[in-house]
C-alpha cells in the first residue's frame, strides 16, 4: 500500500468514529507501527486536517475536513479522458466499466472549471477492428497477473493443435485486434506469447510462481529488446 493510500485510509477510519480512537487500534487497522501512525497524523495535520488527540488519549477527526481538489493541466485531462474512452471501448466489459467509474470519481473531486473540461473533451476514440471473442475472461488473466500465480491453460495454436501448459502470466498486451498474454511457459522453459482468444480454458493454481512479476517483466524486455517504459507502464 502506498503512503498516499494509507493517509486516505486513515482519514476514512477516523471519519467512522465520533469519539477518540486509541493510536494502537488505528495502527493495527492500518497495519503499521505506532511511530508510522504518529508521523502520518502529523502529516495530515500539516495538510489542514483537524485531528485532535495525543498518544495515550486517542485521536478524533473534527468535522469539516475535505481533501484538497485534484488539479490537472488541460493535457492531463485530455489524456485521462482519451485513455478511459479507449479502455471503455476496447477493453473487456469489467475493465471498461472500471474506466468509466474511475472518470466519474475523478470528476466528483475536480473544481468546477476542470470538471467542465472533463465533460467537454473533444478527443474521441475511432472504431477499431472487431476483437475475437475470448473463451476465458480477461479479468481471470488479470487476476493471475496481479496475484503472481501459476495458471493451467489449454492452448490452441495457429496450426489448430491443442496443448496443456503451465504458465506464469506477468503481462497482458492490448493490441488493436488481439489481446496477448505474456508468460513464462514451463513446457518450453522460455517466455511465450499466447493470444487470449486461443486459450481454450484456464484455471489458477494455488501456487505463486517463483519469481516476482517485475523481475520477469524486466527479463522479458531485455530479451525482446524493449526499453523500460516507467513504473506506471509496468502495471499492465
Is residue 101's pLDDT more than 80?
yes
End-to-end CA distance of the chain: 18
Q: What percentage of residues in the chain have a pLDDT greater than 90?
A: 55
Residue 68, domain member (yes or no): no
Question: How many whole angstroms separate alpha carbon 156 and alpha carbon 43?
Answer: 54
Indicate whether 86 belongs to any domain.
Answer: yes
Residues 205 and 162 placed together within one structural domain of the fold: yes
The confidence score (pLDDT) of residue 236 equals 33
In a domain, 128, yes or no: no
Q: Name which of 74-78, 113-117, 199-203, 229-233 the model is least confident about.
A: 229-233
Q: Concatenated DSSP letters for the chain?
A: --HHHHHHHHHHHHHT-SS-B-HHHHHHHHT--HHHHHHHHHHHHHTT--EEEETTTEEEEPTT--PPPP---HHHHHHHHHHHHHHHHHS-HHHHHHHHHHHHHHHHTS-HHHHHHHHT----PPP-PPPPPPSS-HHHHHHHHHHTEEEEEEEE-TTS-EEEEEEEEEEEEE-SS-EEEEEEETTTTEEEEEEGGGEEEEEEEEEEPSS-HHHHHHHHHHHHTPPP--TGGG--
Residue pLDDT, tens place only, 32-59: 999 999 999 999 888 778 899 988 889 9
Residue 162 and residue 230 in one domain: yes
Distance of alpha carbon 72 from alpha carbon 230, whole angstroms: 20
Residues 175 and 218 in one domain: yes
Residue 37 lies in domain: 3-61
Q: Are residues 57 and 84 in the same domain?
A: no
Residues 114 and 143 in one domain: no
Q: What is the mean pLDDT of the chain?
A: 88
The pLDDT of residue 84 is above 80? yes
Instruction: Provide the pLDDT confidence category of residue 231 given band limits of 50, 70 and 90.
Output: very low
Last residue of a domain, one of 23, 38, 61: 61
Shared-domain flag, residues 205 and 228? yes
Say yes or no to pLDDT of 199 above 60: yes
Residue 68: phi, psi to the nearest 5?
-60, 145
Last residue of a domain, one of 61, 85, 104: 61
Residue 234 reports pLDDT greater than 90:
no
- Positive or negative torsion for Cα 36, 40, 41, 43: positive
Whether 222 shows a pLDDT value over 80: the answer reads: yes
pLDDT-based confidence at 71, cuts 50/70/90?
A: low
As a whole number of Å, the CA-based R_g of the chain is 23
pLDDT given for residue 70 in this prediction: 59
Residue 94 maps to a domain: yes
Whether 16 and 98 map to the same domain: the answer is: no
Candidate from 96-100, 164-168, 214-218 with smallest mean pLDDT: 96-100
Answer whether residue 69 shows pLDDT above 60.
no
pLDDT at 65: 59
Same domain, 183 and 212: yes
pLDDT in tens, 128-157: 888 888 999 999 999 999 999 999 999 999
Residue 68 predicted with pLDDT over 60: no
The dihedrals phi and psi of 127, each to the nearest 5 degrees, come to -65, 140
User: Which of the two residues, 36 and 106, has the higher pLDDT score?
Assistant: 36
Question: Which CATH number belongs to the domain containing residue 36 in this structure?
Answer: 1.10.10.10
| pLDDT score for 181 | 98
Q: Domain count of the chain?
A: 3
Residues 82 and 153 in one domain: no
C-alpha cell belonging to residue 65: 475536513
For residues 161 and 94, membership in a common domain is answered with no
Q: How far is it, in rounded angstroms, from Cα 236 to Cα 232?
A: 8
The pLDDT of residue 156 is 97
Q: Which of 104, 13, 105, 101 is CA-nearest to residue 59?
A: 13
Amino acid at each position: 500500500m502506498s503512503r498516499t493510500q494509507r493517509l486516505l485510509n486513515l482519514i476514512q477510519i477516523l471519519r467512522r468514529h465520533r469519539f477518540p480512537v486509541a493510536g494502537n487500534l488505528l495502527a493495527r487497522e492500518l497495519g503499521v507501527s505506532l511511530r508510522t501512525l504518529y508521523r502520518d497524523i502529523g502529516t495530515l495535520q500539516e495538510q489542514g486536517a483537524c485531528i485532535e488527540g495525543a498518544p495515550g488519549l486517542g485521536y478524533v477527526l473534527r468535522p469539516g475536513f475535505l481533501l484538497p481538489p485534484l488539479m490537472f493541466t488541460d493535457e492531463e485531462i485530455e489524456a485521462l479522458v482519451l485513455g478511459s474512452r479507449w479502455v471503455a471501448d476496447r477493453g473487456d466489459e469489467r475493465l471498461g466499466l472500471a474506466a468509466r467509474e474511475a472518470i466519474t470519481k475523478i470528476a466528483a473531486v475536480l473544481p468546477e472549471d476542470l470538471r467542465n473540461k472533463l465533460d467537454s473533451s473533444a478527443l474521441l476514440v475511432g472504431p477499431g477492428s472487431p476483437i475475437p471473442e475470448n473463451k476465458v475472461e480477461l479479468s481471470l488473466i488479470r487476476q493471475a497477473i496481479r496475484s503472481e500465480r501459476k495458471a493451467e491453460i489449454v492452448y490452441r495454436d495457429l496450426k489448430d493443435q491443442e496443448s496443456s501448459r503451465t504458465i506464469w502470466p506477468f503481462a497482458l498486451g492490448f493490441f488493436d485486434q488481439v489481446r496477448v498474454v505474456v508468460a513464462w511457459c514451463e513446457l518450453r522453459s522460455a517466455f511465450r506469447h499466447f493470444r487470449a482468444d486461443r486459450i481454450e480454458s484456464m484455471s489458477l493454481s494455488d501456487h505463486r510462481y517463483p519469481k516476482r512479476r517485475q523481475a520477469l517483466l524486466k527479463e522479458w524486455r531485455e530479451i525482446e529488446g524493449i526499453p523500460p517504459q516507467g513504473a506506471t507502464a509496468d502495471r499492465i
